[in-house]
Amino acid sequence: MSHDDEKRPPFPPFDMSSATQKVRMAEDAWNSKDPERVALAYTVDSQWRNRSEFITGRKEIIEFLRRKWTKELGYKLIKELWAVSENRIAVRFAYEWYDDAGDWFRSYGNEMWEFNQSGLMTRRYASINDLAITEDDRKYLWSGSRRPDDYPSLSSLGL
């Protein structure tokens, strides 16, 4: 399949239900920690701002994610829909991870997403802050990579 033929449902315009589905699909993909899988949700020329990095295209996305998950060990993420309008979705998220010294962190952030008519993300803007936590402060305690459907949301966890 050529890149022009790629489709990633659900498609815009989004409503609350389809946007919620899109957010959960993104969470599942990121929790897989598979850079190639994650990159397929973005256009070949997708533009990102992630913290202070500016990233363009799938190749750079894959390289970025490989670096990220080499540093952020034990990565577990929860995303939550914040707002939706036509082909744009706003998301808040938090993820927990530890570094190679064994220190734990919870990273909080907001993302703004824009999609083309094929359901691929053309732009992603992420603002993220890190908070050092103790291992006892962890809230993401599920086993496996995918958060179980009945696991509490960010709001339910008070995050």
Phi–psi pair at 109, nearest 5 degrees: -165, 175
pLDDT score, position 3 = 54
Domain ranges of the chain: 12-137
Q: Tens of pLDDT along 53-104? A: 999 999 999 999 999 999 999 999 999 999 999 999 999 999 999 999 999 9
CB 121 within 8 A of CB 5: no
Q: How many CB atoms lie within 10 A of CB 158?
A: 7
Residue 97 β-bridge partners? 105
Q: 131: pLDDT confidence band, cut at 50, 70 and 90?
A: very high
Q: What confidence tens digit (pLDDT) does each residue in 133-143 have?
A: 999 999 999 99
CA angle 11, 24, 111 (to 5 degrees): 80
Q: Write the single-letter amino acid at 29.
A: A
| pLDDT given at position 2 | 44
Convert the pLDDT of each residue in 15-58 to its tens digit: 999 999 999 999 999 999 999 999 999 999 999 999 999 999 99
- The CATH number of the structural domain formed by 12-137 is 3.10.450.50
Q: Is the CB of residue 40 less than 8 Å from the CB of residue 102?
A: no
